Amino acid sequence: MNAIKCVLLSVGCAVMFSGCSTSQDKWQKKRPPLVKVVGIVTFNGEPLSKATVALHPLGGNYAAFGQSGSNGRFTLETFEPGDGAVAGNYAVTVTKAKLEYEPDPVNPDTKPPLYQSEQSMIPDTYSVVATSGLTATIPSTGNADINLSLTGQPGELKIIADRRNNR
Amino acid sequence: MGPAPWTETFAPYDNKLSMLMCPTMSSHVLDGGGYQAKRGRTTYGFVTSDTNDMASNLVRGMFGKMSFFKFRDANDGLSNTLLMAEFILPTTTNDLGSIASPVAGNADKIPANCRALYNKATRQYTVAVQPFRGRNWGEGAPTVNCVVTAQPPNSPSCILSASNSSLGLCSAGSKHVGGAHALLGDGGVRFVSDNIDAGNQAATATAAALGIGPSPFGVWGALGTRQSGEIVGEF
C-alpha cells in the first residue's frame, strides 16, 4: 500500500515539475540556440553612447540588435533582452543621429511639420549594410565580445521638411 | 456620414464606443492633451502589411490608403492573411502603448532600430513619444488605426514625424499576457504569441525594399501580406 502511495506521489511530482519546466511556448522551442554577445562601440577613439547597433545575418535568419550605454558598451538581443545572437557571420550597422523638430504652431499634428532634420553623428556609411564595412563573427562556443571602432566625420544635415519660409 | 475625422468640432467622434475597446484596456488612457485628445478610442487596427508603406502603389497587405482589396486579392489564402489585430493604448508616460516619434536613424523602417529605442526592463521608451495610438475610432491615419506586422506583437512602435498621418512601424499588442488577438481573412480570430517567428528584424520594412517578394519578417510578417507567396505553415 505504501509502495503504491509512493509511486503515485512520485508520478505526481514528475507531472508537477514537468509542468513547471514547459513554460516555453512552441515558438520559443523552435528558436535556434544563442550565444551571449556584448561589445563596445567607439567613434574616433571615444565611447559612442546611445548608438543603435544592428547585426544583419549573412545567410542566417535572425538579426541581433542593441543600444549602447554611456560607456559605449552594448548587449545584443535577438528575441529577448540580452539573450545574444545566433552563431554565424553578420554585417554590422551602427546608427546615431541628431534630430531637430519644430511642429506646426497652429496644429502640431500637421504633416509635414514646420521643420524636421536629421544628421548622422557618425559617417552615414555606417548605417547601411552595403557601405558600413563592419562585420562580426559570432562563434558557436563561448561568449562573444565585439569591438566596433568607427572613424571619420559626422554625416551631412538632411532636411526632411522645412516650411519655415512660407509661414 | 459626418465631416472628416480630424474636424474637432464634430461631437459624434467623441463618443466612447465600448465595442471598440478591449475590456482589458485600462480605463486610464493617457490622452497627452491637445489635438483630438477627447476623441473616442479604439483598440482594433487594420493590418496594412509588413512594411511602413500604405500610401505607395504597392500595398502588400489588405488595407492601404485610397485603395481597396477584395477577398480574391488575398492570393496567399484567406487563412494566411490578416485583416485586423489588437493594439494597446498609452496608459502611463512613455509606455509601450505610445509611439516613438519623431525618430531618426531609420527607426521608422528597420524593426531592430525601432526596438532598440524601447527599454524592456524599465518598460519605457528612451526617446520622445506621441499618444496617437487608437485616438479617434473614425480616423484612418496609419498610426491611429493600423497595424504593421514587421515586429512581433507587443513590440514598440516608431514613426518618422510627430503627426498621426506619418508612416512607420506600428505594432500589434494587447493587455492579455503573452500575445494579441488577430482576425484572419477567413473570419477566424487567433491569439498570436509575442514569441511568434518574426524573421530578420534588421531587414528594411518598406515596399520599395521588398517589392512583391516574400516577407523577411517570418511567420508574422507573412501573415501581414496578401500575395507575397510565403508558405506560412502551422501557426
pLDDT value, residue A19: 43
Indicate yes or no: CB of A28 within 8 angstroms of CB of B105: no
Taking the Cβ of residue B48 and every Cβ of chain A, the question of whether any pair is shorter than 8 Å is answered with no
Taking the Cβ of residue B105 and every Cβ of chain A, the question of whether any pair is shorter than 8 Å is answered with yes
pLDDT value, residue B33: 78
Chain B residues with CB inside 8 Å of A83's CB? none
pLDDT tens track for B66-121? 889 999 999 999 999 999 999 999 999 999 999 999 999 999 999 999 999 999 99
Chain B residues with CB inside 8 Å of A50's CB? 126
Taking the Cβ of residue A25 and every Cβ of chain B, the question of whether any pair is shorter than 8 Å is answered with yes
- Asked if residue A167 belongs to a domain, the reply is no
pLDDT tens track for A43-60? 999 999 999 999 999 999
- Asked if residue B59 belongs to a domain, the reply is yes
CA A87, CA A104: separation in Å to the nearest integer? 47
- Asked if residue B198 belongs to a domain, the reply is yes
Q: What is this model's ipTM?
A: 0.91
Residue A90: which of A42, A66, A124, A55 has the closest Cα?
A55
pLDDT value, residue B134: 94
CA A151, CA A153: separation in Å to the nearest integer? 7
Q: Which of B34, B113, B199 sits opposite A108 (nearest CB)?
A: B34
Confidence label for B235 from pLDDT (cuts 50, 70 and 90): confident
Q: Structural domain tally of chain A?
A: 1
C-alpha cell at A130: 552595403
Chain B: give the shortest CA distance to residue A30, in Å.
Answer: 9
CATH of the domain at A45: 2.60.40.10
- Asked if residue B36 belongs to a domain, the reply is yes
In this predicted model, which residue has the larger pLDDT, B163 or A8?
B163
**Which residues form the domain of B78?**
32-230
pLDDT value, residue A1: 45
- Asked if residue B14 belongs to a domain, the reply is no
Chain A: give the shortest CA distance to residue B218, in Å.
Answer: 9
Indicate yes or no: CB of A54 within 8 angstroms of CB of B102: no
- Asked if residue B43 belongs to a domain, the reply is yes
CA B123, CA B232: separation in Å to the nearest integer? 31
Angle at B125 between CA B121 and CA B127, to 5 degrees: 140
Q: How far is CA A44 from CA A41, A68, A70, A94, A154, in A?
A: 10, 16, 16, 14, 11
**Which residues form the domain of A116?**
31-162
- Asked if residue B199 belongs to a domain, the reply is yes
Q: Structural domain tally of chain B?
A: 1
CA A152, CA A129: separation in Å to the nearest integer? 17
pLDDT value, residue B40: 92
pLDDT value, residue B98: 96
pLDDT tens track for B139-162? 989 999 999 999 999 999 999 999
- Chain A (87-146) residues lying within 8 Å, Cβ to Cβ, of chain B: 93, 95-99, 101, 103, 107-113, 116, 118, 120, 127
